[in-house]
Chain A
Amino acid sequence: MIELEGLTKRYGEKVAVNNLTFAVRPGIVTGFLGPNGAGKSTTMRMMLGLDRPTAGDVRIDGKHYDRLKDPLKYIGALLDAKAMHGGRSAFNHLLCLAQSNGIPRARVDEVLDTVGLTAVAKKKAKGFSLGMGQRLGIAGALLGDPRILMFDEPVNGLDPEGIHWIRNLMKSLAAQGRTVFVSSHLMSEMALTADHLVVIGQGRLLADTSMAEFIEQNSRSYVRIRSPQRERLLDVLHGAGITVVETGAGALEVDGGKPEHIGELAAQHQIVLHELSPQQASLEEAFMQLTAESVEYHAHADTPQEQQVWGDGWKGN
């Protein structure tokens, strides 16, 4: 169990993490979602006592991180796959971590085996690929057999096989009753692994909800219809008590409608349909909508009116 209470981090004027309060519960995978620069990594560093909060508090099983005796036995974290000395062998990297927390040497071999790095245990970490580095970082997180695991963007830059492996690992860790807290900026990734969702944007809490609830609230299903006899169709649908939304491109949308039902209605009144398709708003869209106002770096490629004449930039700003 990790509890955050009014957690805040300021760098001068800039507020990186703004008054976050939520709890990460055991037995499930909690996804920590937010666009790049939302403050996810800063929050995780504060959870591990690496960065000091400007205000607020984080407690791990009721204690501050630096009050934990042998913290690797409570909480294992993968923050950055490159946070290791490249000149040290995988085995020695894990051995020095194990020794610092009084973890027996045999456990090093065990976790190397778990992540599939036994064959390269004596090799220097700088020769490792991104995926191998990630596995070594995860081995370090598993070392103390902790009740809580924390991964910061674990699938970033991994190949499909590596992604698959990490997903299954997280699920099996949660199934063993552990607390799993994993950050990502990809909703699609979270949809596959997380049971609970904490969404932040510009350091503020935007949502703290179960995945099922989030999907239910945000995955709008609707039917899109196109017809050359648009006016007649509208009358017929209105007559049947169906609410229709007219969208820009001449299409009609019916929220929660059944295509069978609408098709039959059209046939009865002999209306020609050019399109009758069930649609589902993706979670990615829902996530983007949720965080739209808080995205720090907008790309303006789709807003041509903002494109200025070349050279305009010289005059002002």
Chain B
Amino acid sequence: MAAAQVVRSEWTKIRSVASTVWTLSLAVVVTLALGMLISALSKNEFDKMNRKDQLSFDPTFISFAGMSLGQLAMIVFGVLVVSNEYSTGMIRTSLAAVPQRGTFLFSKIGVATGLSLVVGLATSFVAFFLGQAMLGEHRAHIGDTGVLRAVIGGGLYMTLIAMFSMGVAVMLRSPMLSLGILMPFFFLISNILGNVSATKKIGRYLPDQAGSKIMQVVTPIDDDTPYGPWGGLAIMVLWVAAAIAGGYVLLKKRDA
């Protein structure tokens, strides 16, 4: 079985269902709109901030503020790409056509990841430029130190969030169960664990907390995070690898 055939087939699958278009468009629109809104509000608030906050002010990171909500749409995209197969029964037709389950899984994840990366990078760049336009005199420039890394990192972050969701969805199969765990986790639990001082030391190793470090250009003054931007992204990559490996092992041994 030529993997190229399966990749082409998965591309046909992903482009021929409506959920791909609406989840990805939602991710783009929400990330851009919320990023612009928060950038505009931050510009007006800047003069009222105390000295410490002004020194920690990170215009690049602020322009990505919309990703906190936009990532939820990426999660839905990642979950649906995989669990659609199970909820519709298509999985049995798919695995009868491609009995090499590894080829099937990695072609599916590969295609969805490629699409997420294109959408994520485009969103990240546009979010940056729109956000900076809103920030006016406090803006950062793409040529400033670390800014290009943060903007590309924003695209990688969105891609990795979608990949992590795919891995979890392969393990859980049910779209409702996958979304019911992932959405509250990334929207609430991870934020709480990462910001409450008692749990902060553990919370910052969660995939989104660690991964979002790549989008920071200015390190907050009292920040004691033990990893840098790429270190944080590497932690997130480990989470993604673990989720996909778990999914692969289960898919290999389960009855379809």
Using CB atoms and an 8 Å cutoff, list the residues of chain A in contact with chain B. 45, 48-52, 65-66, 68-72, 77, 79-80, 82-89, 92, 95-102, 140
Contact = CB atoms under 8 A, between A and B. Distances in A.
B18 A97 contact: no
Nearest to A64: B99
Interface string B84-105: 1100111111111111100000
Nearest to B89: A83
Interface of B: 1-2, 5-6, 8-10, 12-13, 16-19, 84-85, 88-100, 253, 255-256
A52 B90 contact: no
A84 B89 contact: yes
Contacts of B94: 100
B99 A66 contact: yes
9 contacts: A45-B255, A68-B99, A71-B96, A79-B93, A80-B92, A89-B16, A99-B5, A99-B9, A102-B5
Contacts of B84: 85
Contact of A96 (B1, B9, B88, B255): B9
A82 B96 contact: no
Residue of B2, B84, B255 contacting most chain A CB atoms (<10 Å):
B255
A87 B1 CA distance: 27
B92 A92 contact: no
A72 B92 contact: no
A96 B92 contact: no
A96 B13 contact: yes
Interface residues of chain A: helix, strand, loop or mixed (majority): loop
A82 B13 contact: no
A68 B99 CA distance: 9
A99 B256 contact: no
A86 B88 contact: yes
B119 to A, nearest CB: 20
A71 B97 contact: yes
Given A92-B16, A100-B9, A84 B1 contact: no
Contacts of B8: 99-100
Nearest to B19: A87
Nearest to B2: A102
Contacts, number: 93
Contacts of A45: 92, 255-256
B96 A66 contact: no
Nearest to B10: A96
Contact of B6 (A82, A87, A100): A100
A83 B90 contact: yes
A84 B255 contact: no
A83 B93 CA distance: 6
Contact of B255 (A51, A83, A100, A101): A51
Nearest to A80: B89
Contacts of B91: 83
- A-B pairs, top 10 by smallest CB distance, nearest first, are A100-B9, A92-B16, A66-B99, A83-B89, A99-B9, A96-B12, A51-B255, A50-B256, A99-B8, A96-B9
B97 A84 contact: no
B110 to A, nearest CB: 14
A101 B97 contact: yes
Given A48-B92, A71-B96, A72-B96, 20 more contacts: A49-B95, A50-B92, A50-B255, A52-B253, A66-B99, A69-B1, A79-B93, A83-B92, A84-B93, A85-B17, A85-B88, A88-B13, A88-B16, A96-B9, A96-B13, A97-B9, A97-B93, A99-B8, A99-B12, A102-B5
A310 B179 CA distance: 47
Nearest to A88: B16
A2 to B, nearest CB: 14
Looking at A82, A89, A101, the one whose CB has the most chain B CB atoms below 10 A away is A101
A66 B16 contact: no
A52 B10 CA distance: 25
A302 B89 CA distance: 38
A29 B207 CA distance: 55
A72 B95 CA distance: 11
B97 A100 contact: yes
Contacts of B92: 45, 48, 50, 79-80, 83
A182 B98 CA distance: 22
Nearest to A72: B97
A49 B99 contact: yes
Nearest to B8: A99
Nearest to B90: A85
A68 B89 CA distance: 23
B148 to A, nearest CB: 37
Nearest to B12: A96
Nearest to B104: A100
Nearest to B14: A96
